[in-house]
A and B are shown apart, each in its own frame.
Chain A
């Protein structure tokens, strides 16, 4: 019964979604589309968490996902590299295209190599800094010179200068912010096209957060990013496009300045002005 009512509300707000798509399509004319998500539904057992979601994620841009806790933004992000499949009793319906190909037809290992992920809490492996970065390369059977790629990845994650003399020390010896950048370096080592960031700064202080945002800006040359964040200032600062989700539905999606200055949906406005969430 609840789901019927909710699916009705999807159609009700479809105009907003379409409007958002049109505006983002116009501005993203020069940028290719990396992800194209159509009519995505996601279920934890009998409980539906994402409802009929349509979204286009342009290449070499940062797309921010905002919304109150439990609105399904993390769940949605995790469908993009099929991480939700590791949770039992979940089901996904709908289409997700990566560069025009359905990700559900892909080999999941290949998909996750192309679509890297950084998690909310830094989760370095209990290994050395070097081995953390080399991990993805090793398990994917990389045969070239690891040293060069480890250095390159740490440089891309703006961590090299801080750790170059301690590469064989435990990753746990690093500070939280350094650990998170190490996790980014680890994800970058396999040279992904897309980087999914699931609240990557929520456990970090403002200075470190600024570093990560700066890093995201630099990575745009080589990487498409989608970031889930609770911090609206962060979304406003660091993203090109913003999608607002509520109760598992995409309410509004447009260029970041537009969404934050002239939102079309009253609920978006209520959320970004802090009236709820």
Chain B
């Protein structure tokens, strides 16, 4: 009986261990399958022209997505300018000043905003930044992405600030620093690696957003230099090209996907490196 029980326990242990291992492997595999698929399908279209040339006319082969790459960068720049300062300051408020009720409401609202469907945020940007001026623009796209950047930045900033031990705050205040000075000269610098990481990840996250851009930044076959015209972006180009009828478009859509994923991976790995460097300085 007890032998039987032991055997049962042992086999259950083995089965569960295998299941968790398989699940963990699946998680890793998904990313590599996607990456491999993108490289397989888009790698060949990834040439110099892709980065430097404008899209060709319908049905013509060749050309590139220079305008969409520049457009995505401009949109991300606007999103950063609009979203990061608000996110940073609100995160500082939550971590360092927040009272009970208002902080609770802010935190809860931030989480809801984070979970809001991106198309709804696009609608919001459409109504405040497109309808009044009656045309699509880079600006409107930047507003949409900026709003999406805010909640991610708020929560990551708050968490990294909270991770700073209270003894550092006391150390600064014992030397006569007031609260803001303590935060600005000791706490934020101490958490800067994490805060910057959070910011980069939030930008990487919205870099791939398509839905809120379709009816704000819209899209553009040409490049433009201003901020008030519609502009192309990588995700919208992928959407358009993937649905188009030409093989060459499909290949370019894959290439654009590869570029976007590479961007996110680089941001992630870069963040890890920044954090590791900061961390190792701490533990010498």
Which residues of the partner chain B approach A109 to less than 8 Å between Cβ atoms? 176-178
**A125 touching B173, Cβ below 8 Å:** no
> Roughly how many angstroms separate A126 CA and B178 CA in the complex, as a whole number?
18
List residues of chain A with CB within 8 A of the CB of B177.
Answer: 109, 139
Residues of A within 8 A of B185 (CB): 135, 139
Choose among B178, B190, B284 the residue that contacts A125 (Cβ–Cβ < 8 A): B190
The answer to whether B170 has its CB under 8 Å from any CB of chain A is yes
Q: Are B174 and A83 in contact (CB under 8 A)?
A: yes
Asked whether A86 lies within 8 Å of B282 as measured between CB atoms, the reply is no
Contact residues in B for A140 (Cβ distance below 8 Å): 176
Interface: B19 (CB within 8 A):
no
Are B171 and A139 in contact, CB atoms less than 8 angstroms apart?
no
Q: Is A110 an interface residue (CB 8 A)?
A: yes
Residues of B contacting A190 with CB < 8 Å? 175-176
Let me know if A83 and B190 touch, CB within 8 A: no
9-residue interface stretch from A46-54, A91-99, A112-120, A204-212:
A112-120
Chain A residue total in the interface (Cβ 8 A):
28
Looking at the assembled complex, report how far the CB atom of A164 sits from the nearest CB atom of chain B, in whole angstroms.
Answer: 19
Interface stretch (choices B81-89, B161-169, B222-230, B255-263): B161-169
CA gap between A82 and B196 in the complex, in Å? 34
A139 B181 Cβ-Cβ under 8 A: yes
Which residues from B are CB-within-8-Å of A62? Answer: none
Tell me the nearest residue of chain B to A121, going by C-beta.
Answer: B167
Q: Select A81's contact among B174, B189, B281, beta carbons within 8 Å.
A: B174
CA distance A270 to B1 in the complex (A): 60
Contact status A123-B176, CB under 8 Å? no
Which of A110, A116, A121, A135 is within 8 Å of B172, CB to CB? A135
Do the beta carbons of B284 and A139 come within 8 Å of each other? Answer: no
| Separation of A262 and B190 alpha carbons in the complex (Å) | 50
A44, CB-defined interface residue at 8 Å? no
A119 to B181, CA, bound (A): 20
In the complex, what residues of B have CB within 8 A of residue A183's CB?
A: 171
Which chain A residues lie closer than 8 Å to B165 at the CB level? 123
Q: Is the CB of A187 within 8 A of B281?
A: no
The 4 residue pairs across chains A and B that have the minimum distance between CB atoms: A136-B175, A123-B167, A117-B174, A123-B171
Q: A126-B190, A186-B175 are in contact. List 8 more A-B contacts (CB 8 A).
A: A83-B173, A86-B169, A86-B170, A112-B176, A135-B172, A135-B186, A136-B176, A190-B175
